[in-house]
């Protein structure tokens, strides 16, 4: 009975990154980088802002639904949002998304002063629901810088690629000069923070090609290298030709924007792939269960995924056939003062499933109470 990684989480994270980068990229571009171009093409930027808002909002809401569905009861959505740390962060994200949309629609004054803290808060909700947030230490702040400078550079490139058709030459050149100046610093900092985060999560260089996390990271790095190469062409070749009026259009900027979209999609899959365990990690992340009780056998898996502890069990006879029914079981998970419990009854014949929310990252003690026997496991839980 194999339970592979659920790609829904990866798709949702990729959609979230796309939405946030479109929303914040358009906002930063309109306020600080391409003011004149934004005034000339307000509807193009509005499509970008509203599209980014809907993508981020939809990914967050469906993510909440998906987690509670995995728990087996979607009526827990309100409890999950209000009573768990991760739910509180998602609830905060929904409020910040609404506030940022309101700023873009002109609902509030002091726009240029209010926008930066709201944007920073939104990025923090991404950081603290990621690998970096779970790891603690310097990683969350490195991840925040990585995201922040990525939005300033990559988000503004996406906005520029949308507004340049039909924009006056003077307005276009002002935006390009500002973006070129910001882009150099942003690319350097994004590269430094990305290198630090990758190294701390990989642990060993061989994990770059020997693990699913490293392999997906390699794809991302290849796309990033292409983006940086196109950005260098734009800075060293396109910008001087535009200044001399010997080039028309920003087709290479559009190519850069298309590659950035690819990077964001792959980033969603990297962010939801478990990094390799630290050297000497004692507790496993997946436990295969095969336990005989009398003339019956419990067969299944205990594993962690995206901050949840999953237990799947089948009760079978000596020939390996599912029984028509099974007794009530109990599963208990604890780490420090945090305790999670679930009473289990079969959801189909003699098949059981439990999913417990693990607020803390680290090793959890999991107890499964069978009739006449108690099983104990140590399980490493990470987001």
pLDDT tens track for 174-211: 888 888 888 888 889 998 998 898 888 887 788 888 88
Strand order in the sheet with 329-335: 338-344, 329-335, 362-370, 373-381
pLDDT of residue 60: 95
Q: Give dist(CA 263, CA 380) in Å, integer.
A: 29
- What does DSSP assign to residue 334? E
Question: Closest Cα to residue 135, out of 278, 321, 315?
Answer: 278
User: Residue 44 has which token pair?
Assistant: 């193009």
pLDDT of residue 282: 58
CA dihedral sign, ordered 88, 380, 138, 131: negative
For strands 308-316 and 362-370, give the pairing.
Answer: unpaired
Angle at alpha carbon of residue 350, lines to 345 and 352, rounded to 5°:
50
pLDDT of residue 187: 87
Neighbour count for residue 99 (Cβ, 10 Å)? 19
- pTM score: 0.78
pLDDT of residue 48: 92
User: Residue 96 has which token pair?
Assistant: 């910040």
pLDDT under 70 in the chain at which residues?
1-6, 70-72, 106-110, 134, 246-249, 277-283, 383
Contact 380, 340 (CB under 8 A): no
The residue assigned the tokens 């290479």 is 252
User: Residue 188 has which token pair?
Assistant: 């350097």
């Amino acid at each position: 009975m194999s339970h592979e990684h659920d790609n829904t989480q990866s798709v949702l994270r990729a959609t979230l990154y796309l939405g946030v980068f479109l929303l914040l990229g358009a906002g930063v571009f309109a306020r600080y980088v391409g003011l004149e171009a934004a005034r000339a093409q307000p509807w193009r930027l509005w499509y970008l802002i509203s599209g980014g808002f809907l993508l981020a909002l939809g990914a967050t809401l469906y993510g909440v639904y998906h987690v509670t569905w995995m728990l087996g009861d979607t009526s827990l959505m309100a409890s999950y949002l209000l009573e768990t740390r991760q739910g509180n962060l998602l609830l905060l994200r929904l409020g910040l998304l609404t506030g940022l949309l309101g700023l873009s629609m002109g609902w509030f004054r002091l726009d240029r002063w209010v926008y930066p803290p709201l944007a920073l808060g939104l990025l923090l909700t991404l950081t603290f629901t990621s690998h970096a947030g779970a790891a603690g230490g310097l990683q969350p702040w490195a991840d925040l810088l990585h995201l922040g400078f990525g939005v300033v550079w990559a988000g503004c490139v996406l906005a520029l690629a949308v507004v340049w058709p039909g924009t006056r030459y003077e307005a276009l050149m002002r935006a390009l000069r500002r973006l070129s100046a910001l882009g150099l610093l942003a690319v350097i900092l994004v590269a430094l923070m990305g290198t630090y985060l990758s190294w701390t999560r990989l642990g060993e260089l061989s994990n770059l090609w020997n693990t699913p996390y490293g392999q997906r990271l390699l794809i991302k790095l290849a796309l990033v290298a292409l983006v940086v190469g196109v950005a260098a062409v734009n800075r060293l070749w396109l910008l001087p030709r535009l200044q001399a009026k010997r080039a028309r259009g920003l087709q290479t900027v559009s190519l850069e924007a298309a590659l950035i979209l690819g990077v964001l999609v792959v980033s969603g899959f990297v962010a939801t792939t478990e990094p390799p365990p630290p050297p000497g990690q004692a507790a496993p992340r997946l436990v295969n269960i095969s336990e005989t009780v009398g003339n019956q056998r419990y067969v299944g898996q205990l594993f962690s995924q995206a901050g949840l502890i999953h237990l799947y069990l089948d009760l079978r006879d000596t020939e390996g056939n599912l029984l028509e029914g099974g007794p009530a079981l109990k599963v208990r998970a604890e780490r420090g003062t945090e305790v999670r419990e679930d009473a289990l009854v079969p959801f189909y014949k003699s098949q059981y499933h439990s999913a417990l929310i693990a607020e803390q990252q680290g090793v959890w003690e999991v107890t499964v109470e069978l009739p006449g026997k108690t099983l104990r496991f140590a399980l490493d839980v990470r987001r």
